[in-house]
Chain A
Amino acid sequence: MSSAAPAAPETNPTTSSAPTNPDIIVETRSLGKIYRDFWGRKKVQALKSLDIEVRRGEIFGLLGPNGSGKSTTIKLMLGLLFPTSGRAFVFGKEATDVAKNERIGYLPEESYLYKFLNAEETLDFYGRLFDMPASVRKERTEALINMVGLQRARRRQLREYSKGMTRRIGLAQALINEPEFLVLDEPTTGLDPIGTREMKDLIVKLREQGKTILLCSHQLADVQDVCDRVAILHQGELKELGRVDSLLKVQDVTQIHAKGLDENTKSQIRDLIAKSQGELLKMDNPTTTMEELFLDIVRDSENRPGRRSSNAS
Chain B
Amino acid sequence: MRLTPDQFWTYWEWLFERGGLLGGFLLALILAVLGFIAGFLIATIKYGPAEGFLQVAKILGEFFTVDLPKMSIRRIFAIAKLSFKEAIRNRILIVVAVFVVAIMFAGWFLDPKASNPAQLYIPTVLTFTNWLMLLMGLFLSTFSIPRDIANRVMYTIVTKPVRPTEIFLGRVLGFVAVATMNLVIFGVMSYFFIVRGLSHTHDLESLQNDGLAGETTSVRFHSHSFTLNEDGVGTTNMVKGHRHIVRKVGDKVVVSEQVDDLTARNPVYGTLRFTGRDGEENTGYNVGYMSEYQKYIEGDTLSSAIWKFENVDPKLFPDVLNFDMTLSAFRTYKGDIETPVGGVVIFRSLDGEVESDRIPFRVKEFQIDQHSIPLKLKGFRKGEPADLDFFTDIAQNGSFEVVVRCRDRGQYLGMAAADLYLRASEGTFVWNFIKGYISIWLQMFIVVCFGVMFSTFLSGPVAVIATISVIVLGMFGWFIDNLTTGKISGGGPVEALVRLPLQSGSETQLDLGNEMIEGAIKGVDRGLLFSVSTLKSALPNLYDLETSDFIAYGVNLFDGLLARHLTIAFGYFLMTSVIAYFFLKTREMAG
Does B bind A? Answer: yes
CA distance A121 to B153 in the complex (A): 15
In this assembly, does B159 line the interface, its C-beta being within 8 Å of a C-beta of chain A? Answer: yes
Closest to B160 in A: A129
* A116 to B72 Cα, complex, angstroms: 24
Interface residues of A in 170-185 (CB under 8 A from B): 173, 177
Q: Which of B61-87 contact A (CB under 8 A)?
A: 66-67, 70, 72, 74-75, 77-78, 81-82, 85-86
Interface string of B79-106 (1 = CB under 8 A from A): 0011001100110000000000000000
A30 at the interface (CB under 8 A from B): no
A104 to B156, CA, bound (A): 11
A residues less than 8 Å from B66 (CB atoms): 98-99
- In the complex where A112-B155, A116-B86, A125-B82 touch, is A80 in contact with B161 (Cβ < 8 A)? no
Known contacts: A40-B45, A112-B155. The answer to whether A101 contacts B86 by CB under 8 A is no
B587 CB, min distance to chain A CBs, angstroms: 9
B157 in the interface, Cβ–Cβ < 8 Å? yes
User: Any chain A CB within 8 A of the CB of B200?
Assistant: no
CB neighbours of A104 from chain B (8 A): 159
Q: Which residue of A lies closest to B587 (CB)?
A: A82
Question: Is there contact, CB below 8 Å, between B161 and A128?
Answer: no
Q: Quick one: which of A99, A117, A130 has the most chain B CB within 10 A?
A: A130
- Given A125-B82, A128-B74, A131-B75, answer yes or no on A101-B590 (Cβ-Cβ < 8 Å): no
B438 within 8 A of A: no
Contact A108 B591 (CB under 8 A): no
| Interchain CA distance A131-B70 in the complex, whole Å | 11
* Cβ-defined partner of A130 (8 Å) among B67, B155, B161: B161
Would A116 and B152 count as touching, CB distance under 8 A?
Answer: no
- Nearest CB on B from A79, distance (A): 7
B88 → A minimal CB distance (Å): 9
Assembly CA distance A125 to B588 (angstroms): 23
Residues in chain B near residue A113, CB distance under 8 A: 153, 156
Measured between alpha carbons, how far is A121 from B78 in the docked complex, in Å? Answer: 10
CB-defined contacts of A81 to chain B, threshold 8 Å: 588, 590-591
Kindly state the separation between the CA atoms of A131 and B166 in the bound complex, as whole angstroms: 12
Q: Indicate which residue in B67, B75, B159 contacts A128 across the interface (CB closer than 8 Å).
A: B75
B589 at the interface (CB under 8 A from A): yes
In the complex, what residues of B have CB within 8 A of residue A231's CB?
none
A80 touches B588 (CB 8 A): yes
Q: 0/1 per residue, A82-115, Cβ < 8 Å to B?
A: 1000000000000000110110101010101110
- What CA separation (Å) do A18 and B446 show in the bound complex? 42
The residues of A that contact B348 with a CB separation of less than 8 Å are: none
Interface assignment of B158: CB less than 8 Å from any CB of chain A: yes
Q: Is the Cβ of B151 less than 8 Å from the Cβ of A112?
A: yes
A80 touches B159 (CB 8 A): yes
Is there an interface contact between B161 and A129, defined as CB atoms closer than 8 Å?
Answer: yes
Residue among B70, B90, B153 making CB contact with A112, cutoff 8 Å: B153
A residues near B224, Cβ cutoff 8 Å:
none
The interface residues of chain A lying within 8 Å CB-to-CB of B72 are: 131
Q: A117–B156 Cα gap in the complex (Å)?
A: 14
Q: Which of these, A98, A112, A177, contacts B156 with CB under 8 Å?
A: A112
Q: Is B162 on the interface with A (CB-CB < 8 A)?
A: yes
Is B244's CB within 8 Å of the partner chain A?
no
**A301 smallest CB distance to B (angstroms):** 37
- Chain A residues with Cβ below 8 Å from B154 are 112
Closest residue of B by beta carbon distance from A15: B51
Contact in complex: B78, A128 (CB < 8 Å): yes
Closest to A128 in B: B78
Which residue of B is nearest A177, CB measured? B160
Q: How far is the CA of A35 from the CA of B158 in the complex (A)?
A: 20
B342 to chain A, nearest CB (A): 69
Q: Among residues 137 to 168 in chain B, which have CB atoms less than 8 Å away from a CB atom of chain A?
A: 151-163
Interface size bucket, B side?
A: 20 to 34
Q: Does A75 belong to the interface (CB within 8 Å)?
A: yes
The residues of B that contact A230 with a CB separation of less than 8 Å are: none
Interface centre among B45, B77, B151 (most CB of A within 10 A): B151
Within 8 Å of chain B (Cβ to Cβ): is A78?
A: yes
- Interface of B, secondary structure class, is helix
Q: Chain B residues with Cβ under 8 A from A128's Cβ?
A: 74-75, 77-78
Q: How far is the CB of A142 from chain B (nearest CB, A)?
A: 19
Chain B neighbourhood of A117, CB < 8 A: 82, 85
A131 engages B74 (CB within 8 Å): yes
Q: Are the C-beta atoms of A98 and B152 separated by less than 8 Å?
A: no
Partner of A98, one of B151, B155, B161: B161
Beta-carbon contact of B161 and A125 below 8 Å: no
Chain A window 114-127, contacts with chain B (Cβ cutoff 8 Å), 1 for yes, 0 for no? 10110001000110
Q: Beyond A126-B160, A128-B75, A128-B78, is A108–B152 a contact (Cβ under 8 Å)?
A: yes
A6 to chain B, nearest CB (A): 22
Instruction: List residues of chain A with CB within 8 A of the CB of B75.
Output: 128-129, 131
* Distance of A126 Cα from B158 Cα, bound (Å): 11
Report the bound CA distance from A75 to B153 in whole Å.
14
Among residues of A, the one whose C-beta sits closest to the C-beta of B59 is A96
Contacts of A98 in B (CB 8 A): 66-67, 161-163
- Mark each residue of chain A from 130 to 147: 1 if its CB lies under 8 Å from any CB of chain B, else 0: 110000000000000000
Chain B residues with Cβ under 8 A from A82's Cβ?
588
Partner of A80, one of B74, B158, B162: B158
Q: Is the CB of B155 within 8 A of A80?
A: yes
- In the complex the two chains form, what is the Cα distance from A309 to B349 in whole Å? 112
A173 vs B155: C-alpha distance when bound (angstroms): 12
Determine whether the beta carbon of A110 is less than 8 Å from that of B160.
Answer: no
A102 surroundings in chain B (CB, below 8 A): 161
- Alpha-carbon separation in the docked complex, A204 to B160 (Å): 24
Contact with A along B17-56 (1 / 0, CB 8 A): 0000000000000000000000000000100000000000
In the complex, what distance in Å separates the CA atom of A80 from the CA atom of B78? 21
- Closest Cβ–Cβ distance, residue A37 to chain B (whole Å): 11
Residues 15-54 of A contacting B (Cβ, < 8 Å): 35, 40
Nearest opposing residue in chain B for A114, CB measure: B153
Question: What is the distance, in angstroms, from A63's C-beta to the closest C-beta of chain B?
Answer: 20
B 161-202 to A, binary, CB cutoff 8 A, 1 in contact else 0: 111000000000000000000000000000000000000000
How far apart are A23's CB and chain B's nearest CB, in angstroms?
A: 23
**Least distance between A279 CB and chain B CB atoms (Å):** 51
Interface code A186-202, partner B: CB below 8 Å = 1, 0 otherwise? 00000000000000000
Cβ contact within 8 Å between A80 and B589: yes
State in angstroms the CA–CA spacing of A80 and B66 once bound together.
Answer: 19
Does B159 lie within 8 Å of A126, measured CB to CB? no
A131 to B480, CA, bound (A): 47
In the complex, which residues of chain A have a beta carbon less than 8 angstroms from the beta carbon of B45?
A: 40
Q: B161's contact among A35, A106, A131, by CB below 8 Å, is which?
A: A131
Q: Name the CB-closest residue of A to B89.
A: A116
Q: Which residues of A contact B151 (CB under 8 A)?
A: 112
Whole-angstrom distance between the Cβ of A115 and the nearest chain B Cβ: 9
Assembly CA distance A102 to B160 (angstroms): 7
Report chain B residues within 8 Å CB of A125: 78, 81-82
A126 touches B161 (CB 8 A): no
Contact string against A for B residues 101-133, beta-carbon threshold 8 Å, 1 for contact and 0 otherwise:
000000000000000000000000000000000
Chain B: which residue is nearest A76 at the CB level? B590
- 12 other A-B residue contacts (CB within 8 Å) besides A101-B161, A126-B156, A129-B161: A75-B590, A80-B155, A80-B588, A81-B591, A82-B588, A108-B156, A112-B155, A113-B153, A114-B153, A125-B82, A128-B78, A173-B156
The residues of A with any CB-CB pair to B shorter than 8 Å are 35, 40, 75, 78-82, 98-99, 101-102, 104, 106, 108, 110, 112-114, 116-117, 121, 125-126, 128-131, 173, 177
Q: Which residues of B contact A (CB under 8 A)?
A: 45, 66-67, 70, 72, 74-75, 77-78, 81-82, 85-86, 89-90, 151-163, 588-591
Pick 29 A–B contacts, CB within 8 A, sort by A: A40-B45, A75-B590, A80-B588, A80-B589, A80-B590, A81-B588, A81-B591, A98-B67, A98-B161, A99-B161, A102-B161, A104-B159, A106-B159, A108-B152, A108-B155, A108-B156, A110-B152, A112-B153, A112-B155, A113-B156, A116-B89, A116-B90, A125-B81, A125-B82, A128-B74, A128-B75, A128-B78, A129-B160, A129-B162
Q: Can you list the 3 inter-chain pairs with the closest CB atoms, starting with the nearest?
A: A128-B78, A80-B590, A129-B160
